[in-house]
Amino acid sequence: MIPLFFLVTLCLGVVSAIPMPNPSLDAEWHEWKTRHGKTYSMHEEGQKRAVWEDNRKVIELHNEDYAKGVHDFSMEMNAFGDLTNTEFRELMTGFQSMGSEEMDVFQEPLLGDVPKFVDWRNHGYVTPVKNQGQCGACWAFSAVGSLEGQMFRKTGRLVPLSEQNLVDCSWSYGNSGCDGGLMEYAFQYVKDNRGLDARATYAYEARNGPCRYDPKNSAANVTGFVRIPVSEAALMNAVATVGPVSVGIDSHHYSFRFYSGGMYYEPRCSSSDLDHAVLVVGYGEESDGKKYWLVKNSWGTGWGMNGYIKMARDRNNNCGIVTHAVYPTV
């Protein structure tokens, strides 16, 4: 098992010498700041501009190779363009690995072949894409996503659930709010608490706050949770037969942060150093035979394909997508 530790650092890079900005990019820089509501102090402006220009160059070089067929996915500038990689991991990830706590292990049903294509969005299991903001609560969004799906499976009603309830109230289970957490700890909290509030009555705030759970507003419950073996076949079987599944991944590469579309494969990805939690809502295969996982992120609809990404499937557990997969039982 991976030892218990947080994969969110508090170490910010220090820029000792800020290069002069490229004047040909002035209009693009100001348009980007306006579009994303960015304002800086006089001291910050130069530093943020330099980071933005560096990130822009990474994207430009990648897309040049994409146009030549070197890559199967494209990148684009987005709201994260002024963040260093260290700052980005601190603010926008938050997956925490765990020890050897006991839990049920997924048993693949003897149902023969599973469907070649699955997309639970088409069957009412998946709420609209949400945005965690600058709060490392990806674990709460992933947990809520799989729980929303299981509650729909049980009741036939899709009710958006409260990530903020988990951020504020599950600290004693091992989670740390905006500083990271784990889906299993969230499920255990809901099980012991005998409920989780709806998002409509416990709104997301993207910051830590006091616990305000109200049992009158509970919209979900949990009876336990199931860990899926480290196998792409097992995850495929679980997604096909159970519904959306919470997973941890390695997301710290520029290619993931600025992903815009296509089949994501990152050869430098780790299958064990996981830092972000997302939700697998389906899988499929392109016309050229390349297989993918359909993944819902929690960085808003302005990221990726309206908040989603197609991650390479059956390519040696790329980015660790099957290393840590779990879903709740209700």
252 given a catalytic annotation: no
Residue 262's DSSP bridge partners are 73
11 given a catalytic annotation: no
Task: Name the helix (H) or strand (E) containing 209.
Answer: none
Report the distance separating Cα 147 and Cα 155, nearest Å: 12
- Exactly one of 135, 138, 169, 269 is catalytic; which is it? 138
| C-alpha 144: how far from chain center | 12
Report the distance separating Cα 186 and Cα 206, nearest Å: 17
262 and 72 Cβ atoms separated by less than 8 Å: yes
First to last CA, the chain: 26
Residue 189's SS3 state is helix
Residue 114's SS3 state is coil
275 and 89 Cβ atoms separated by less than 8 Å: yes
Tokens found for residue 177: 């709010």
Report the distance separating Cα 89 and Cα 249, nearest Å: 13
- Exactly one of 55, 78, 165, 297 is catalytic; which is it? 297
- Exactly one of 62, 71, 252, 276 is catalytic; which is it? 276
Tokens found for residue 219: 């919209």
43 given a catalytic annotation: no
- DSSP symbol at 317: S
Nearest to 6 by CA among 92, 97, 86: 97
322 and 246 Cβ atoms separated by less than 8 Å: no
Enumerate the active-site residues. 138, 276, 297
